[in-house]
Structure 1
């Protein structure tokens, strides 16, 4: 499997807007085009964006970089919790 790690985030009704641009920029600068993928996906009761990674460390760094992104299961990012 090329990208075994998936991080799904909830897409608000108004979309991700500038945050999605920031996510793509961070991915391009810190991960590289060959080590990640991103796709929109229908989710259960919401739209989601799925980010795929080759390793867990990169996925964790991504989640930590965008702590305000709500995970698709309805929980706040672990990095965002106080």
Structure 2
């Protein structure tokens, strides 16, 4: 039986049950992505998150994968200026208005 290699993004989809998709503007995420990655490295063990580009509805997205809802919520709260891929503002941003 031949084993086929599964792309890392597919493995992460199978391994991480919680996803947060952030809308990527036409100009890119720029320094926000740097801040997001720094936050993840500082607050989440490496084996408990992953990040990949992902298809979105009429937009480019960055998909952040987590092992649990609490970590995903903390991530979203840490970046209230990020737009969720469904076109809505982050819930934390909406509460701050």
TM class, shorter-length? over 0.9
Bigger helix fraction: 2
Distance (whole Å) between structure 2 residues aligned to residue 55 and residue 35 of structure 1 = 8
**Shift >2 Å, 4+ stretches:** none
Task: Give me the TM-score of the superposition, normalised by structure 2.
Answer: 0.82
Instruction: After TM superposition, list the pairs within 5 Å mapping 1:1-80 onto structure 2.
Output: 1-80=14-93
Root mean square deviation, CA, Å = 0.8
Per the TM alignment, residue 2 of structure 1 is displaced from its structure 2 partner at its CA by: 2.0
For residues 27-71 of structure 1, what are the alpha-carbon distances to aligned partners after superposition, in whole Å with 9 as ceiling and x for unaligned?
001002110000001211000000000000000000000000000
Q: What are the ranges of 5 or more consecutive residues in structure 2 without an aligned counterpart?
A: 1-13
Q: In the aligned structure 2, how far is the partner of 1:22 from the partner of 1:75?
A: 21
* TM-score of the aligned structures, taking structure 1 as reference length: 0.96
Q: Which has the higher contact order (CA 8 A, sep 6+)?
A: 1
* Equivalent residues, number: 82
